Structure 1
């Protein structure tokens, strides 16, 4: 229910029988939802928690005179509750801190918080600049959060990871300013969460458990609960994979095929990222982890067929390795440096690429058999016959195999596909477009034999 509408700000109120009340501030880029929802609304309604939700019609970092009306309204309502918890994300986290004393906060939970809009104090980003452009020089200086403006225990949830140069640099600078200058500040580490920390803590059950710890005001309990949620949250796991995959591909490989990941809620978000999976497969291969590269590719293909976890697919592949294996299981695939699987498209009659590992019926993965480029169709092996703009299939041991069969040249475990007499070679660009070119392939244009 909206209880106040100003020129730029709105105040929502959900009344319930809880001992404490939440005041939430919306983050930036949520203006289109200012009237119909507020930050933490689903949690407040599901668990019957009283909540005052402040939303913005324009991204203004709550630097507007509407706050002079909203603050007294909030205080009139919150005086009937035992504790006042203020929560915000990014722009909302800034407001949660900036107005905490005026709102008589007992607890503030600020995620990805900003400390100031004054570039002389800390760096700003594009969204912050929108507000700066509307303010006069004195008002910009006054946007800095001063100690007398905060009250209660301040929990600063921040991505502390610094393993990559420039990673979340603005966030680090603002978080450091907050910790240095604002009293009763407690750092709550959320590694790999990036700026939008809440994404690693999403879920009504998960966030409610954080609220339960915040009410205790026991720092170690809050930190431990956030760490527990973050560690097993699919968004955080996914962020960690994206950050580490190029530096530690073997570590990411072990994580993808682990039993623990197979038990994580919403793990399909990680499993179904075929672009990342195929790129990782290529990276593993060229770094010498050939067995792991093949294991991951075959697990991805089997998952596409059975819709199981990568852990289960890997277990099935490993068990199959101890017994009889079909020829089709023994033939290697070709993966491009840009993270694409090479296939023969029977409709277009050409070699193309895919990241759809479930497989279309007319797209046959390219394989290698006795140094020949082949594909399997209905349990039969076909070689590829080059015919200029089109490519045809013919039985592998056909006597018609003449000079127009595509050839494979292996170099240090990688492969190059050539037309007859090495006139053209096939290569794939970063966008997955592949064709034959009259140039020598560069190192990164070779294909991994997986």
Structure 2
């Protein structure tokens, strides 16, 4: 790796910096570490104001190497106290994928730490909060400031991105007081588009109508950086699905239409086209629990997904008939029913015993499921459609998105 975190920001702000990267995710606990520390000590010797910044895996050495490097200030973002299961609670995935011989006893120790310490995290990330608490306990009596980055997730650096924005953070670390550093980071986070987008993502499925009102209101227009959120499919489509789940079909259609319009404007297209225009108005699109539109590929005979009814790909949108809920696609104006037998999908010009249907859940008026010969259809996030789920929970739920609701 020839580049390092924040390199462009540092260069553009004319700040002298050294970056340390690794080829494997072993938290910089390796045989080469003492050599790297020695080289850095030589190069940092002429400087009196040494700032260490580390994110996630890099947050650990930012603390653990600070005394050896003579740091005056440390910004450690979402650090781990240790990956050693004998020293703390650590998710098994970290142990299986990153912990190796030689990393025993790697915990952050107060005798290795110096300078004023700033630790940033999203309190909503429980595992990060647990490890930061352990570090706080270890560094009692030190000059430690905890900065809570709400809605930032684990990769909180995204909420501080931007040449001017992160440049102001670095300058505050170099020349500002503790209060200046905290105020600068909080201010940058609050104005960052990533922060606003994360808020909508977090609350979009919990309070979809309230989020819809916020997105369609005039306040968001005051922030140019936030306008792009209305063109983010991964942010908007789950909210559309949540609106459908609560029966707010008109609001869902309006938000979806605005998504398409903003994508068109962002990509500088003069128009957008909805495929399958010959589809009868009484056909309803199928949306999965994750906010994706379900399509059918007649080449592979499999379900695939797109993010919008205005997307273009080689597959055909999947529709549901209002009477009976039979699933169908339209090719050259002809309706073909999607059938399933023992896990194998096909299409037919007529309804038969193997034709798939959406059925309404008894307890929810706007939520549907699809029964197959093997169980239930389940839409896997980041993956495809599985036909043999034995449960009927969230991922097995689907919503209907009608063209009529756009009126």
TM over 0.5, shorter chain: yes
Native 8 Å contact 1:158 1:189 kept in 2: yes
Mapping for residues 87-236 of structure 1, pairs under 5 Å? 87-125=53-91, 126-127=93-94, 130-135=98-103, 140=105, 143-146=107-110, 148-161=111-124, 167-169=125-127, 171-182=128-139, 183-236=142-195
SS in 2 for 1:115: coil
Q: Which residue of 2 aligns with 1:334?
A: 285
Counterpart position of 2:232: 271
CA distance in structure 1 between the aligned counterparts of 2:101 and 2:144, rounded to whole angstroms? 30
Q: CA deviation at 1:110?
A: 0.6
Name the count of aligned residue pairs.
Answer: 369
- Larger strand share, 1 or 2: 1
Contact preservation (8 Å) 1:386, 1:392: no
> C-alpha separation between the residues in 2 aligned to 1:442 and 1:206?
43
Distance 1:118 1:370, change over 3 A: closer
Contact kept, 8 Å, 1:343 with 1:352, in 2: the verdict is yes
Alpha-carbon offset, residue 88 of structure 1:
1.1
What is the distance in 1 between the residues matched to 2:337 and 2:173?
68
Deviates more, 1:125-134 or 1:208-217: 125-134
Map of 2:353 onto structure 1 = none
- Paired residue secondary structure (1:174): helix
Residue 6 (structure 1) aligns with: none
What are the Cα deviations for residues 409-448 of structure 1, in whole angstroms up to 9, with x where unaligned? 9894667999xxxxx9xx854156599x9xxx99965642
Q: Please state how far the C-alpha of 1:217 moved relative to its aligned partner.
A: 3.3
The whole-number CA distance in structure 1 between the counterparts of 2:231 and 2:225 is: 10
CA shift at 1:109, angstroms?
A: 0.7
* Structure 2 contact 84–99 (Cα < 8 Å) conserved: no
Candidates 255, 258, 282, aligned match of 2:241? 282
TM-score by length of 2: 0.69
- The CA deviation at 1:179 is 2.2
Structure 1: gaps spanning 5 or more residues: 1-32, 162-166, 314-327, 394-405, 419-423
State whether residues 178 and 185 of structure 1, in contact with CA within 8 Å, keep that contact through their aligned partners in structure 2: no
Instruction: Give, in whole Å, the separation in 1 of the partners of 2:103 and 2:88.
Output: 17
RMSD of aligned alpha carbons: 4.9
Structure 2 residues not aligned, in runs of 5+: 272-278, 341-345, 351-355, 403-407
1:81 aligns with 2:44: no
Say which SS state the counterpart of residue 334 (structure 1) adopts.
strand
Residues 159 and 197 of structure 1 are in contact (CA less than 8 Å); yes or no, is this contact kept in structure 2? yes
Per the alignment, residue 405 of structure 2 pairs with: none
Distance 1:221 1:330, change over 3 A: farther
In 1, distance between residues paired with 2:4 and 2:303?
47
SS in 1 for 2:14: coil
Distance in structure 2 (CA, Å) of the matches to 1:113 and 1:385:
53
User: Is 1:243–2:195 an aligned residue pair?
Assistant: no
Tell me, yes or no, if the aligned pair for 1:155 and 1:186 is still in contact at 8 Å.
Answer: yes
Distance change in 2, residues 1:336/1:86 (3 Å): closer
1:232–1:82 Cα change, 3 Å? same
CA distances 1:7-38 after superposition (whole Å, capped 9, x unpaired): xxxxxxxxxxxxxxxxxxxxxxxxxx1xx223
Distance in 2, matches of 1:150 and 1:377, equals 67
In the TM superposition, what is the alpha-carbon distance from 1:243 to its structure 2 partner?
3.5
Distance apart, 1:112 and its partner CA: 0.9
Change (3 A) 1:251 1:74: same
1:448 pairs, out of 383, 400, 404, with 400
- Aligned with 2:61: secondary structure? helix
* Deviation for aligned residue 1:111: 0.8
**For 1:156, what is the secondary structure of its paired residue?**
strand
Cα distance in 1 for residues equivalent to 2:339 and 2:17: 70
In 1, Cα distance between equivalents of 2:283 and 2:146? 50
| Inter-partner Cα distance in structure 1 for 2:34 and 2:182 | 34
Q: Does residue 13 of structure 2 align to residue 47 of structure 1?
A: yes
1:430 is aligned to 2:379: yes
